[in-house]
Structure 1
């Protein structure tokens, strides 16, 4: 056994069905009395139901969370927080809402509860990505890690199959990169493989029957496991590319991860054979990169950047941005190779095809 360092993240995790009924107790356990409920505009109804459940513990609702956590949206949320006298936040929804809760915590140190309704996994990480002026920056700090994560399988039953697929592929990306991370360790690697396997097993079943509760439970567990991996080790090329494409070209987050993942995996495959073997084993596939591509394609998930609205003329700029600042990756990051990777992803070519 090689020496390693593993740092567990200090968060309380509640997992099950019907767990939303415990939200009032969790707010009180944090010593809070006025929770600001956060959501996207599309999930306002869910936020209103949650606020009603909280009763006098609810300070109000801010339903303007949006993709990539724009700084200007966070500033409006901060104004609402102060005006309502809130002493904590409860974020219900996917990565956009979780990101807003984290952005508020960064600025206030107020406790936060995350209630995920997708498989993004960001609720399990001390990582925050924010956009300002068309650029996305990320930082890692325990200040943004939610104190409580409340997983309720019932809340995922209404997640449309298409969003389930891309959200799940987004989660798998966290574990893929964890398996070849520079600061990887056997604990995180075991969890990464388990997370990929749970999602790869569950997602096709969800596509066939969105009400399959066992599949929904497996997917939600897998998303948590993958999120923990993202939170405990560093990420590399795949996440750099997705942050560049999302922040600079306003591409949808989960869909971008879905498209880029097979190509980033193929790029790194020669430099990380052990990781590739574990990914392939978790997928039940002969090859990691093609297994990921075929999983996405089999669910009718997007496989080409051009279908997400990425302009072909933007590929050069994306390659420039993705290679502008040095960062660790198992295979050296060179502009020509990254430009070729992006071209494959733009056209939706099957890796190795």
Structure 2
């Protein structure tokens, strides 16, 4: 105890991390457990040299951030003065700048098609209408994601300006990280959709180039004639028919999926009805047993009723005979005849 008191008196600034006995040189933590960001006194994360605010938010990265609650130089956008996360890893730029680059490429393709006198928006074409609807939806989704990203930036700015405590900031930072993760998932999905339709546009442009090359070769090889014009028209109509068949197949596929879901619902309903029918069978068996019991009781009651009816009939016969005897007139004769016993076996006296 004396030695411990001497040590405590000699080294009053020991590191507050559990199990560490090193000296805290500039605060409550030693050099190994203290954040290495300038004059930050917060403890560093496990396996790293910086705290949660000064370490890159990229999972697995231990490098120092360019700005508080941000990313390191490697995981930031390469565009000057941009602190967003580099979503497009192949070009090391953020999603917003990659979208600008994609828009420039799309505009370049549209200008190239216009130079070739190709109408990018044929009126009344079903495939173009589908593309236009999907394009408008992508624009709306992108605007929504951009608005949500700006909201998250405002929240990050508010968090940087309103520092209260480590626990509250950790909770807010976790909420912001979850929100940013959802935004990144949405942005990745929209980027994949954009890439898909870009590939479709490139494929369509390639088909147009092939058709133009074929048409130019045919014009150079043979003189222009009505037959070739008619053949080209037939080919165009075949292409339109194939596109219409493709659209019908897509609709049929959607209908088949809807019917499949209806069949699954009907199967579930049939299973529920079968379960109810089994319960009804049990109820019917119980009712049959009750009916048999009631029939046996009714048969006993009928027998009792017949017995009672027979007894009542016998009693009525006896009453009728008694009444008949009372109504029968008495004979008037001598005293001997009157006093003689009228019983058939005679008198005992």
| TM-score normalised by L of structure 1 | 0.19
Higher Rg: 2
Instruction: Give the structure with the larger helix fraction.
Output: 2
Structure with higher RCO (Cα < 8 A, 6+ apart): 1
Instruction: Give the structure with the larger strand fraction.
Output: 1
| TM-score normalised by L of structure 2 | 0.20
